[in-house]
Each structure stands twice: as structure tokens, then as C-alpha cells.
Amino acid sequence: MPGILSTVLFVGMNDKIAEGLAQEDPWCAYDAYRRFLAIYGQDVWGIDMESYNIVEETKQRYKVKYKYDLPWEGMKEISEKTKSILQKEGYGDALEDVLHNPKKQLITAINTVFHSWNSEAARRYREIKGICNSWQSVAIIQEMALGNRKNEEIRVGMDETKASLTGVIPRTHVTELGMRTLTGDFKFSAAGDDLVGGLTKSISFRSIDELQTFLPMLNRRLRHNVAKLRRFMGTDQEVEFTVENGVLSILQSRAAEIGKNRMEKAFEAPGQEAACGIGIRGSAFRGVVTFDKKDLDELRKEDLAKREDVDGVILVLESPAPEAIPLILSADALLTAKGGSTSHAAIAINGIENRDYSAVMSAAGLHVDAKNKKAVITAKNGDIRHTIRKGDVISIHGMTGNVYVGTRKTL
């Protein structure tokens, strides 16, 4: 159930630990601290920290495009702001308690994993995938590999002993020359959640093919490990890994999900696309837009099969967060503003075996306002080019990543 059960990162963090880590790498220390506070607040206390938009506001204040470009002082500000929000939400005393008691952090994190087995998202996911409710789960405790250490420089020929990054390889594939190669992404100075959580725009990711350019020795070690895992497990593997100061850690490995539709379609002269993203699965698809479960259930009651201009229902989201996976799998197609091929949602989509599905993620210029049930596609200068509302029709291509407003004729 990848992405469905709770995961709490950087357990053991508090002010003193952050100050100690900061003596060596202040950016990493406060990035780790703010991540712990946000994840603990969300998974243990149910506070949606993403809705407060703290990171984006801090980036705007420092006038930087990427989180990586924030100074360590900015990361510390995010940590303090997160603590303030948790206090305002009524968890001030509980926060002080866990920050002074790392063992309690660990115990509550373990209990959170167990409790997440019976969450609504987990129950719905098991129903969709046919997983037995009585299996239950284990809780795995792992030492953190700090892929979020600040890299001194990112360039060709960089010092591999000081490189820190995280990456995901969803699967391998055979090239036209018969060579097996990797598919996936990595990101410098990041934690795995940046890739698998679906909350980050893919423009900050690098293709796994670029690893050879920046870090050739690491690239060879990684490929050797992936090949060994594939031979040992007897099947292609999805692999998550982290590199801390040049040290490679394989975090987990499981059978790769490789989704393939029974029928592939193409658009006949679709014209200029309104946006383009990452094609995750499928081909040409025309969908009636929905933004939430309620609207999806309503549209399911309509006989869309009688319509010649649509193929089904398409779910439009800002982020393909793990908790949205059951909803995503309930639709016929997906379009998102964030996330990529290494997100847990993409893995779940490729795990669909009994029906066709099309998906495009990280569509450039797409901004989704689920609360008001609308989305806009903007130009590079920020001007709104298209507005999409519930019940509108949009067309996507799950291989090219192209997005079109309105329906298109298919071949």
C-alpha cells in the first residue's frame, strides 16, 4: 500500500538537536526540523500544514524560485512559523511535551503507523485493490539518510564524496539496442517525500539519466545495486534511494508497477495544446471535469456512455497527495498541477490492471482551486488563458502529456 500508511520523518528532532546539527550544516538542520514538525503535525494531530503555504510564502519573501535557494535562516523561520501554527491549533502543550521527549515521539509515530491502517483512505484503497482488511501492518524504524544536506556545488565534475540527494526508480526498461536502463528522477538536497509525496512541481526534479553526468561513480554503484535487486527478487523493482555525502542507501524495494492500457488512442488534429505536463499512463482521453468525491459520485450517476464527446470522468487536482489515491483510482483519468512519475499516486495508477486509465501530472501553468471547484491555465507572464469548471470537458494525452481545453476527435 505505497503512500497510504503514515510515515513520520526525522523523529527525534527538537531545538537542541537542530542547533547541534546546525554546527555542521544549518540548512539541512532546519530543513529537517521543519519537515519533522509539518509531518508530525499532519500525521499525528491531523493538521494540514500544506494549507498554510508557509514554504511558498517564505520563498516569495526571499524572492527565490526553489526551496533549495532559501538561506538557512529562511528554513529556520519556516520551523518557527510551523511551531506557532501548531500552538494556535491548540497543540502547544503537546508540542512542548514531545519536543522534550524524543522517546515519546518514537512511540507516537509507531502508533500513528498502526492507526493509519484503519484510516478512510486505507480502507477505500484496500476495497479498490482487493487487499484483506485483517492483514494489518508492521511499523518499520529506519535511521535517516540525510539526502537533504546542502550541496556545496552542483556541476559536472562535482565532488562525489560531498553529494547529497534522493531519488526514485519506478522501473527499468529495455532500449532499442537491447540494453536495460533506468527510469526515474532524483533531486539534490531533498528528502524522499519531495518525490513520492506529489506535493512538489516536477520542474525541480532531474532525470535519472543525468546522474551519469553529475556523479558517474555513484551512477555505476546505483545501477549495480538495482541489477542485483532485480536478479535476487526475480522481477523488475521499484527502488527508493538516498545519498548522504556520497554514501548510497537503498531505502526500500518492491515489485515495479507497469501499467498498460488495453486500447491506445490518438487525437485527430488536436491543434495547439493549452498546457503540457508529464505523461504518466494511457493515451488520448476526453473527460468531464470533477474536483472532489462528491462531484465524482454525481457524475457516475450520469450515463456518460451515451455521449460521443467524452470517454469518462477526469479528476483535476493541485497535488496527487497519497491520501487522495483512493479518489484518484475511482476516476477514469487524472490531471494535476504537481507531482510526477515517481509519486506514490503515479505508482498506484500504474498498478491498475483491470481497466484503462490516463494521467498527466505537473501540467505547466495549471492552478487548481478545489474549494471553489475551478482551475485556471496561465501563460508564463501569469495571465489567465483558460478557466476550467466542474462539468467542463478537457482532453489529455497520457503519453505526450499534452492538455487541451474542450473535446477532441479521437482515432
Q: Tens digit of pLDDT for each residue in 361-396? A: 999 999 999 999 999 999 999 999 999 999 999 999
Judged against a pLDDT cut of 90, whether residue 87 lies above it is answered with yes
Quote the pLDDT of residue 141.
94
CB atoms within 10 A of CB 151: 18
Burial class (CB in 10 A: 0-12, 13-18, 19+), 38: buried
Q: What is the pLDDT of residues 323-338, one digit of tens each?
A: 899 999 999 999 999 9
Grid cell digits, residue 299: 457524475
Give the model's pLDDT for residue 306: 87
Cell 527525534 sits at which residue? 12
* Mean pLDDT computed over 120-131: 91
pLDDT(77) > 90: yes
pLDDT reading at 92 higher than 90? yes
- pTM beyond 0.75: yes
- The pLDDT of residue 397 is 97
Contact call for residues 403 and 366 (beta carbons, < 8 A): yes
All cell numbers assigned to 48: 494540514
Burial class from Cβ neighbours inside 10 Å (0-12, 13-18, 19+) for residue 50 reads: middle
Q: Which residues pair with 386 in a beta bridge?
A: 377
- pLDDT for res 158: 95
Say if residues 319 and 336 touch (Cβ distance below 8 Å).
Answer: yes
pLDDT of residue 406: 96
Cα–Cα distance for residue pair 192/4, rounded to 1 Å: 15
Share of the chain above pLDDT 70, in %: 100
Residue 163 clears pLDDT 90, i.e. is over it: yes
Q: What is the mean pLDDT of residues 304-322?
A: 93
Which domains occur in the chain, in start order? 15-135 (1.20.80.30), 160-255 (3.30.470.20), 275-405 (3.50.30.10)
Q: Is the pLDDT of residue 59 over 90?
A: yes
